[in-house]
Structure 1
């Protein structure tokens, strides 16, 4: 099977329209239709249902769409990582969302730079929910991810920090002066829609946007406790006693053999362990 065939299928599966998919791919519709039919014959399953009302994915097609994305990402990642490895001055690219490291990176970098396998580090800051995809398609070498929110499949991970959660509220909110809350206190409140979620609320892609929506009273949000470090004067953070704890993890592709990645993991675990020892005292 060729990556070209996967790309054809993904375009049709996402557009659910052969004409739009052909336009997206820059090709005519008849050869695209023939390519998908040939793919289905070779696989022995129907991937797409075609009716007069349109195109829909079968159960097999839905599974194949997920796996096709993984395969195309893996090919793209192989190219990008090989290109970086061939640079005269190698770099280690680390992805995080704003404050997604919970303040750990400043402590990790000195230990990493002292390692003989260290290379120059470039931090790539993206929006909420983008880091796992950047790691999966090879744009970065490591990423700070968050459990249970991020998809960790295909990654090796190291848990660096666990955190309680707080409710982020407008300063004038009826609950803003409470010493603590439980999740039931927030029933009926408007919540943001994180990328990939099905909550009916305004979609939030970066922390600055979230703070603005909270300050305006348009949403409340339950977020890790480290968010307190950058909260604005017009936003209050109140502990939520029964909210599940969240984890800050360092992730990298499984089967990685990079010595620079291994050195960064060593420095990160040393900082995490020092933090746990200090917390236990």
Structure 2
């Protein structure tokens, strides 16, 4: 039976994300020929081609896409096993919550206050994650819970409670043709350039589903890694964004937001690992729901 080592999965995960042997090797801290040989050894062992190579491009085959998806979850599972084994030997004195900076819809203070009133409350450490990796913090054990936006974030393997549901807004430069409108529709935005979030496949527009009015005609926009990069690209007129209303606050003074009347509504959720039945987490979830409803 063909087997792969964790190190090999880490190598392939970097290549699958960068789609460039040189950049992936630099990220891994190894020589490019060593990475190329490692991938070829994996292909020989599995008996399938994982990537298609050309002088300019690297693309994943269907087998490579499958290994990228399942390999990522395998790496998360290994990391989670190590972290949870380590924490099992420690007294639970604190809870770790990961959020996107500014991604709490102004609910976090109330949640922390509600939790602190519980007689067995523990210290809550706030961790800050990026635009696309907060769910992974929970899956691999770095965090106990996360504030996530559905359907932006992947909730696979997580339980969750919805704290708030809200509409979405288009973020536009002030001279955009739609900037003066009181509201727009998805059809109005159908040919706009949308950003590609780093680490997200396809057009990289989390939460805009294939049947939501944005079809394949949507151009691949510039790749962005965080809100600051996104703001800069919108100010330059290189892209627009469609975000939950709460993520548009505070808005850069050089930008405008316009409600998207028929965009699917998004939800701010508190998520935790499906197998996590600890009282520590259950109490925090109950406090968050109480605060959100109050």
Give TM class, smaller chain: 0.7 to 0.9
- Paired position in structure 1 for 2:256: 236
| 1:249-280 superposed Cα distances (whole Å, 9 cap, x missing partner) | 11111110222111111111112333xxxxxx
Distance 1:62 1:75 in 2: 20
Residues 98 and 129, structure 2, Cα contact 8 Å, conserved in 1? yes
Structure-2 change in CA distance of 1:179 and 1:89 (3 Å)? same
Aligned position for 1:154:
157
Shift of 1:143: 0.9
Name the count of aligned residue pairs.
Answer: 267
Superposed, 1:181-196 pairs within 5 Å as 181-195=184-198, 196=200
Higher helix share: 1
CA RMSD of aligned residues (A): 3.6
Cα 1:62–1:10 change in 2 (3 A) is farther
Q: Is the 8 A contact 2:53 2:59 kept in 1?
A: no
1:201 shift after superposition:
1.3
What TM-score does the superposition give when structure 2 sets the normalisation length?
A: 0.76
CA distance in 1, matches of 2:161, 2:241: 26
- Aligned equivalents of 2:111, 2:29: Cα separation in 1: 47
Return the alpha-carbon distance in structure 2 between the equivalents of residues 3 and 155 of structure 1. Answer: 28
Which is greater in Rg?
Answer: 1
1:146–1:90: structure 2 CA closer, same or farther, 3 Å change rule?
Answer: same
Q: Does structure 1 residue 107 correspond to structure 2 residue 127? A: no
1:43-54 equivalent positions in 2, closer than 5 A = 46-48=47-49
For the Cα contact (< 8 Å) 1:47–1:58, is it kept in 2?
no
Give the TM-score normalised by the residue count of structure 1.
0.79
What is the SS of the residue equivalent to 2:223? Answer: coil
> Would the alpha carbon gap of residues 108 and 215 (structure 1) be closer, same or farther in structure 2, given more than 3 Å must change?
same
Q: Does 1:198 align with 2:199?
A: no
Gaps of 5+ in 1: 41-45, 275-281
User: Could you list the runs of 5+ residues in structure 2 that have no partner in the other structure?
Assistant: 204-219
CA distance in 1, matches of 2:71, 2:155: 17
Is 1:133 matched with 2:136?
A: yes
- SS of 2:69 mapped into structure 1: helix
Q: Per-residue deviation at 1:217?
A: 2.6
Aligned to 2:11: 11
